[in-house]
A = this chain, B = another copy of it.
Amino acid sequence: MAVKVKQDSVDRVSQICAALRRAIIERALLPGDKLPEDALGDSFGVSRTIARQALGQLAAEGLVSLRRNRKAVVATPTIEEARDTFEIRIALEALVADCLAASITPEQITELKRHVADQEVADIASEAEAIRLATDFHVLLAGMTGRPILERYVTEVAYRSGLALSAYGRPHSNDCAIEEHRKIVEALEKGDADAAAREMTGHLSAVADRAQVMTREAPPRDLATILAPFVTS
């Protein structure tokens, strides 16, 4: 009997999605980068049909933008979308923090600490991995809630945030300060829901701020206002 080599087809599409998501989050793919179907198909060893389906999914997630008869491109979120994404992310991850503070197990705490330690290593070794692990930390937390839909949305919104940072953030530097992650874990370990939620929202706000995304009420760029100081007399 032959070894079971056959892959789920749904998984073939999801695999490509996952690979592209990762490439986007790691900033190997940048907003505006073109994603031709056959190039994609060649890369992954599938036909355009499959590549196309993956692009459709990613478009639904907001990571890719499709326009008729045009090559798919990595999406460039508008500044409003970026801001909105972070605000929703804060709300959802506050839910995660609240939920976990009540239910987290010692094993999960250990796993989180290990993850943060891995981040610390990667932070020096590999920029791409550091960015990815920073996002993974949040996905890991969401997964620990055991709430499947919450996990799904947190994951999606985390990826979108990554894209927003790619578009508007400065070069990595410290998008996701490891120290802040550690504090979140500490609050969870104590079972302090308020502190956990506070650390989480503070952390995410800081990330958004670093991306200059949350600037309260984006300056309206009104010509008259700008020129006022230059008007003589």
Contact = CB atoms under 8 A, between A and B. Distances in A.
B10 A84 contact: no
Interface stretch (A106-114, A148-156, A171-179, A198-206): A148-156
Contacts of A8: 68
Contacts of A60: 57, 60-61
A91 to B, nearest CB: 6
A150 B49 CA distance: 31
Interface in A98-148: 147-148
- Majority DSSP secondary structure for residues of A touching B: helix
B88 A92 contact: yes
A87 interface: yes
Contacts of A233: none
A9 B56 CA distance: 11
A233 B15 CA distance: 59
A13 interface: yes
Interface in A1-31: 8-10, 13
Interface in A34-81: 49, 52-53, 56-57, 59-62, 66-68, 80-81
> Copy number in this complex?
2
Given A10-B68, A80-B148, A88 B57 contact: no
A84 B53 contact: no
A195 interface: no
B13 A81 contact: no
A66 B10 contact: yes
Given A9-B68, A10-B66, A53-B53, A84 B160 contact: no
Given A8-B68, A84-B148, A88-B92, 5 more contacts: A53-B56, A60-B60, A60-B61, A91-B95, A149-B157
Interface of A: 8-10, 13, 49, 52-53, 56-57, 59-62, 66-68, 80-81, 84-85, 87-88, 91-92, 95, 147-150, 152-153, 157, 160
